[in-house]
Amino acid sequence: MARNAEKANGLLNKWVTMKKEFNSGGPAERRPYMTKDCDDLGQAEKWRGDVIREMSKKINEIQNAGLGEHKIRDLNDQINKLIREKRHWQTRIMELGGANYNGMEPKSYDADGRELPGSGGYKYFGAAKELPGVRELFQAEAPAPPRRTRGDMFKNITPDYYGYRDEDDGVLVRKEAAAEKRGVAEEVERHEEAKKQRLNDRLASGVADAIEPESSEDEEEAGVPGDEDGTMFGQAEAQAASATTSAALKAHVPVPNQEEIKGAILDYRKDQLLAQFLS
């Protein structure tokens, strides 16, 4: 049924065309394929207007998004072909001494005022701008974030960044002093507990045999005033260490004592000074 309707429409179109040719007295003129074949300025203007009317008709037709992807692509190709043909006619009109339409023609813009993109002069119209792969051409790319230079990074750096004014108000100094005092007390307490533990271990093993008062030098090194318990524990630890060392070490060669070592060092220094003055 659809085929018969198409045949009928085709025959009707042929009959209407023949009727127009009969009334006009001859066959309808066809637009020349090559613009060089037209040597009349009026005819060139006529064919340019004919191309513009045909192009406007197809642009109105391509606005319908329900035509289908293939039909829309064909229409867009035909419109671009007509645009190129119009440009050729405009060039031919200028060659024949007519107006320069190419120079007066504005650029093509979309509804948002953006120039229609396309490589090699190819443009997209109407529903063709929403086709897959074409929509991305109309999406504005996000601008790249500005790169910070070294000058920008140092622009807002103040002496506070390096901590030059942290102690001006005195708050940090007081906090550091309090923290230091607590740390020293904790270390002293830990040291005393370790000493007591070592002494108890040695007393339990039977190494220490006497407990005597500790010297005042050990109290100064510990940083706290000495008491009787601390004195006894310190002296006992020293005696235990001496007894353990004596029992563990046995000299097989003559070992100099402390006085002999001091005398040897003193003689060495005297020789150095004498050699320095004589040289």
pLDDT at 170: 80
Q: Name residue 115's beta-bridge partners.
A: 109
SS3 state of residue 133: coil
pLDDT at 131: 84
Q: Which residues contact 215 (CB under 8 A, 6 or more apart)?
A: 234, 235
Distance from C-alpha of 239 to C-alpha of 225, rounded to nearest angstrom: 22
Question: Does the pLDDT of residue 213 top 80, yes or no?
Answer: no
Number of other CB atoms surrounding residue 64 within 10 Å: 13
Binning pLDDT at 50, 70 and 90, where does residue 116 land?
A: low
pLDDT tens for 261-271 read 999 999 999 99
Tokens of 161: 């960044």
Residue written as tokens 């006992």? Answer: 236
pLDDT tens for 32-63 read 888 888 888 888 898 899 999 999 999 999 99
Tokens of 227: 């008491």
pLDDT tens for 218-248 read 444 444 444 444 455 556 555 655 555 554 5
Who has greater pLDDT, 168 or 90? Answer: 90
Q: At what angle do helices 41-61 and 69-95 cross, to 10 degrees?
A: 160
The answer to whether 86 touches 48, Cβ cutoff 8 Å, is yes
The answer to whether 231 touches 213, Cβ cutoff 8 Å, is yes
Distance from C-alpha of 105 to C-alpha of 91, rounded to nearest angstrom: 12
Give the helix ranges, DSSP H, for the chain: 2-24, 41-61, 69-95, 101-104, 150-155, 171-205, 216-222, 228-248, 258-278
Element (H, E) at 106: none
